Amino acid sequence: MLNLINTSFDNCIKCTVCTTRCPVAEANPDYPGPKQAGPDGERLRIKNPELYDEALKHCTNCKRCEVACPSGVHVGTVIQLAKAKHGGFKKGPREFMLSHTDLMGSLSSPAAPVVNTVTRLKPVKKLLDKTLGIDERRTLPKYTGQTFRSWFNKQSGTQEQFKRKISFFHGCFTNYNDPTVGKHLVSVLNAMNIGVSLMKKEKCCGVPLIANGFFDKARKNAELNMNQFARSLTETECVIATEPSCTMTLRDEYPEVLDVDNSEVKDRIFFASAFIAREFARGNQPDMKPVKLRVAYHSPCHLIKAGGVIHTMELLNSIPGLEVIMLDQKCCGLSGTYGFKKENYSTSQSIGQGIFDQIEALGVDYVVTDCESCKMQVEMNTGHTVLHPLTLLAQSLT
Amino acid sequence: MPEDELSFQDKFITSCHTAGIRAEALTPKEALRIEPNVNPQLLGAVRVPDGTIDPFRLTASNILDAEEYGGRLMNYTRVTGLIIENGRVCGVHCMNIKTGELIDIRALQVVNAAGIWGQQITEYADLSIRMFPAKGSLLIVDYRINSMVINRCRKPADADILVPGDTISLIGTTSEKIPYSDIENIRVTPNEVETLLAEGEKLCPIMAKTRVLRAYCGVRPLVSLGDDPSGRNISRGIVLVDHGKADALPGLITITGGKLMTYRLMAEMATDAVAKNLGNTRHCETAEKPLPGANGKNADVHAPQVSIPVSGSAKYRHGERAAKFLSDDKKQNAIICECEMVTRGEIEYAVNNLNAKDLVDLRRRTRIGMGPCQGEMCSCRAAGIVSEMTHADNSENALDSIGEFLQERWKGVRPILWGDAMREADFSYWVYDNLLGYNQLQSLPAPVSEQLFTEQDDNVAVEAA
Ligand code: SF4
Ligand code: SF4
């Protein structure tokens, strides 16, 4: 018998809206959808844990079901926790490699040129496909030779001159793969007379760890991060993250999924767009030059969940000359590590097809999105370069 | 619980031991480990051998077993009188309450096992068995909050037992004397709901935030043996009367009293009495023979394509008989009731093999409509299947069936109409009435499908639709 703590599944009125919004259920007939995998299945699992359905493995934790639910059921969380409780995660070397992003980053980044060349070689991709099950058709993320932290430390002196300060949670991708967004955040905030500081230490927020079932490791990271946040917040106004999934995890998943109390700092964790949009609204808006571009904006699932799309749109709309077309709010299909797995490749691609087609048909200059994983997926599947909103903002300042 | 006397525990344990029942005292910590949702304020606990049965499964299995031995079930057939010829009961006059058809059934021996209605049956022969109707109400909650029966360790009182049953738990029961004339018109009162919830919460505090699915009441067929206003101390003993001996009216035997716990023994006693009157002295074997489906969830049924929640639920309900409908046929595996994982195959099996003629029957055989949505998702789907199987082309029948079913569900939901149960009921109403236009369809002169079928010209038919 379980100790029933999270019983949000009990609020489900069976309207099935969640299932109509689930990208996986739409693309993969083997997945019974969030209603059945979540609240319906939970009653059965409480009755008898043997009634666990292994089809739950197909869920990507995109959280679209939760956004859609009119009853406040934490559908995605119910599913993740059920997977964790009932051994529903396959935790092989591939899962380890894909999910331990900070470990892989700290190993690969120093040897970036070599790693980047090697991982683009056909035979290597074949090997990864055959031995680990990482689909050979995927473009693997590149690593940066100079991490964001080492770049930042070299210029951190300039941050001292600002009276106002925020702490920046850079996340794994910005640090090890591509520091561009981090650099742009620094220049945008500096233009607004706000200085940036980093936590003494930060660990991966845990989103890939949760998605692959490494809950203990994720919890450890969460505890370290929360300690660091508390310390850092004694000197700064708030913590800002530029990656939607990190933001959602730090704020919502820590207490809900990992049972890590973040109530002390939760209200001071902001998604970059939300913070900047609020500053703009208060009059702290630097002069902006026109950026004459036509772009399509793709809203990432986890940003929809975190409720931040509106802020990003506000920022984009504040850039003079920029024409922004909002794409349909559909999932790109990569879902972090999910789409890298060989068995998910075709589902992942067919989920994203709608977005790819829409982008191709629009003929825009760039695609814009806040999420690194969406960026990878769109760049691999369309001829377009994908920019972060902060990059456009930075461009309008110079 | 702190408010109960701890001394009762010792008395309880000693009494168990005297009666030869194992009883072992547990520390609060041990009790919480076994049942984590139990009230952490408990002072102590006693573990006794206890179990639960599923009344729906048990009934269906008994019927199936009887039919396999040549018995015949006539549902919805009310006994309206006894056929008495030459001072002997030779059968019963009946009426089919659905069709109004009058039927006479003749038999060498008639057994009156009509529960609380037993008094009425004997009255047909001017005999008197005084029943003592005691109404009991209970609440069904959305999911299992306990895995074994949890009982308050105190003198029997209202709402002192929490029973897990299939996917739900139920808190019961109240006990209230009612006049015999009221047995057809009982309802759960707000006071009873309040008592059940307040006391239930003391057993498991989680009940305070758990959705109540429905309230239910029934009448205990107690036989009056004393003058006890609450009905609590009345004997739950078995009463077997051979009216040939007792009242010089041969051909009629009444079996009543007892509890579900003793139902099989009661059946054996009644059957032995019948057999004796018929001159059959063979020893009764039912105690040694498992009922159909007795293997339950351990049944060895092979259907690899069926998902575990579906096959597991089917096996739990039908045991080895699930093999009759669990297959790799995609159409058969379509899930009709999503709360309880009932497939099209199971519904067809229940219609064909378990005397389910409409949705209300089907619910008792399969659990459709018993989950949190109380029929919202499955009623129309299942009605279509049953209608297809039993009354081809008669959509009116399907509509009636949906209406009757949802009304019956509504009856149980009404006493607990707040919170999520209210949202759910409102949503169901919206779906069936506002979206599907149930009430308008009902008042149409003829079923829509018939109008369509009689129209030869497709275009006209579409316009008419
Ligand atoms: S989290 Fe995403 S993939 Fe998982 S059930 Fe919800 S909508 Fe579907
Ligand atoms: S959207 Fe929410 S209420 Fe509706 S079926 Fe899904 S979980 Fe239940």
How far apart CA A184 and CA A144 sit, in angstroms, is 16
User: Residue B454: what pLDDT?
Assistant: 43
Nearest-atom index, ligand 1, CA of A61 = 1
pLDDT in tens, A270-282: 999 999 999 999 9
Confirm or reject contact between B119 and chain A (CB < 8 A).
no
Instruction: Give the Å distance between the CA of B35 and the centre of ligand 2.
Output: 29
Q: Choose among B321, B356, B147: nearest CA to B369.
A: B356
A16 to chain B, closest Cα gap in Å: 10
Higher pLDDT, A92 or A222: A222
Instruction: State residue A117's pLDDT score.
Output: 79
Q: Are A233 and A200 in contact (CB under 8 A)?
A: no
The pTM of this model reads 0.90
A2 part of contact set with chain B, CB < 8 Å: yes
Per-residue model confidence (pLDDT) at position A2: 54
Q: Which candidate from A4, A9, A53 shows the least CB-CB separation from B37? A: A4
How confident is the model over B121-147, as pLDDT tens digits? 999 999 888 888 889 999 999 999 999
The predicted pLDDT at position A95 comes to 87
Q: Which residues of A touch B206 (CB under 8 A)?
A: 4, 7
Nearest to B133 by CA among B162, B176, B95, B98: B176
Cα-to-centroid distance, A62 and ligand 1 (Å): 5
Check: CB of residue B405 under 8 Å from CB of residue B358: yes
CB atoms under 10 Å from CB of B452, counted, come to: 15
Q: Is B374 exposed, middle or buried (0-12, 13-18, 19+ CB in 10 A)?
A: buried
Mutate to test the pocket of ligand 2, among A18, A19, A42, A59 (most ligand atoms within 8 A of CB): A18
Q: Note the pLDDT of residue B172.
A: 87
Q: Which DSSP category does A38 fall into?
A: I
C-alpha B444/C-alpha B431 separation (Å) is 19
Q: What is the pLDDT of residues A297-354, one digit of tens each?
A: 999 999 999 999 999 999 999 999 999 999 999 999 998 888 889 999 999 999 999 9
Has residue A1 got a pLDDT over 80?
Answer: no
Find the distance separating the first CA and the last CA of chain A, reported in whole Å: 61
Looking at the CA of A63, name the nearest ligand: 1
| Nearest CB to A14 within list B35, B144, B376 | B376
Chain A residues closer than 8 Å to B335 by CB:
36
- CA nearest to A315, candidates A332, A350, A291: A291
pLDDT in tens, A47-76: 999 999 999 999 999 999 999 999 999 999
CA distance A83 to chain B (A): 14
Quote the mean pLDDT of chain B: 89
Looking at the DSSP bridge assignments, the partners of residue A241 are: A169, A271
Contact, A45 vs A364, CB < 8 A?
no
Q: Please, what is the average pLDDT of chain A?
A: 92
Query: Cβ separation of B372 and A71 shorter than 8 Å?
Result: no
Calculate the alpha carbon distances from A389 to A166, B152, B323 in Å.
19, 62, 58
> Chain A closest CA to B426's CA: distance in Å?
10
Q: Is A44 on the interface with B (CB under 8 A)?
A: yes
Is residue B458 scored above 50 in pLDDT? no
Across residues A236-257, what is the average pLDDT?
A: 95
Angle between helices A345-362 and A372-381 (to 10 degrees): 70
**pLDDT band at B459; cut points 50, 70, 90:** very low
pLDDT for B268 beyond 60: yes
Summarize pLDDT for B42-53 with one digit per residue, the tens: 999 999 999 898
- CB neighbours of residue B248 within 10 Å: 9
Contacts of B423 in chain A (CB under 8 A): 13, 71
Report pLDDT digits (tens) over B186-226. 999 999 999 999 999 999 999 999 999 999 999 988 886 54
Q: Which ligand is nearest to the CA of A21?
A: 1
Q: How far is the C-alpha of B220 from the C-alpha of A258, rounded, in Å?
A: 49
Residue B93 CA to residue B101 CA, distance in Å, equals: 11
Question: Which one has a higher pLDDT value, B276 or A142?
Answer: B276
pLDDT at A260: 95
For residues B451 and B315, which has the higher predicted lDDT (pLDDT)? B315
Tell me if A52 and B143 make a contact (CB, 8 A cut-off): no
Cβ-based contacts of B40 with chain A (< 8 Å): none
pLDDT digit string, tens, across residues B278-310: 999 999 998 999 999 998 888 888 888 899 999
Quick one: closest CA in B to A45, which residue? Answer: B309
> What CA–CA distance (Å, rounded) separates A315 from A292?
15
Measured torsion, CA atoms of residues A185, A191, A194, A195, in degrees rounded to the nearest 10: 60
Q: Which of residues 47-76 of A touch B (CB under 8 A)?
A: 47-48, 50-55, 71
Q: Using CB atoms within 10 A of its CB, is residue A283 exposed (0-12), middle (13-18) or buried (19+)?
A: exposed
| Confidence check: pLDDT of A165 > 90 | yes
Residue of B nearest to A55 (CA): B307
Q: Which chain A residue has the Cα nearest residue B422?
A: A13
| Residues of chain A contacting B36 with CB distance shorter than 8 Å | 1-4
Which residue in the set B142, B147, B166 is minimally distant from A1, CB to CB?
Answer: B147
Structure confidence at residue A299 (pLDDT): 96
Closest CA to A139 of A349, A305, A371: A349
B54 interfaces chain A, CB cutoff of 8 Å: no
- The reported pLDDT for the residue numbered B232 is 55
Task: Kindly tell me if the per-residue pLDDT of B451 is higher than 70.
Answer: no
Q: What is the pLDDT of residue B395?
A: 64
Q: What pLDDT band is residue B446 in, cutting at 50, 70 and 90?
A: low
pLDDT above 80 for B228: no
Q: Is B372 in Cβ contact with A51 (below 8 Å)?
A: no
Distance A11 CA to ligand 2 centre (A): 8
Distance CA B401, CA B378 (A): 12
On whether any CB of chain A is under 8 Å from the CB of B312, the answer is: yes
**If you count residue pairs, one on A and one on B, with CB atoms under 8 Å apart, how many are there?**
97
CB contact under 8 A, B211 and A10: yes
Inter-axis angle of helices B344-353 and B308-318, nearest 10? 20
pLDDT of residue A133: 85
Q: Say yes or no for a CB contact (<8 Å) between A11 and B376.
A: no
Which has more confidence, B351 or A119?
A: B351
Taking only the tens place, the pLDDT of each residue in B19-35 is 999 999 999 999 999 99
